[in-house]
Amino acid sequence: EWQGGLEKAGLWDGPVLNRAGNSVADAAAFAAASSNVRAQLAAVQQSSLQALNRGLVDTRELEGLLVVGRFGLFVVAIAATLYFRRRMVKDLMRPVNSLRRGVLKLQSGDYSHRLDVARRDELGEVAVAFNGMAAALQDSHKALTYRATHDDLTGLANRAALAERLLTSFEPDSDSRTRNEGLLFIDIDDFKDVNDSLGHGGGDALLVQLAQRLRASVRSHDLVARLGGDEFAVVVLDNDDGTPATGPVAERIYEALSEPFVIGDRSLRVSLSMGVAQRTEDTADVTELLRQADSAMYRAKHGGKARYEIHGG
Task: Please list the active-site residues.
Answer: 230
Distances in whole angstroms, Cα of residue 269 to Cα of each of 197, 230, 257, 261, 262: 13, 15, 8, 6, 9
**β-strands 266-268, 231-237: how paired?**
unpaired
Give residue 259's identity as a one-letter amino acid code. E
Give residue 161's identity as a one-letter amino acid code. A
Closest listed residue to residue 191, CA positions, set 202, 178, 179, 180: 202
Contact 261, 202 (CB under 8 A): no
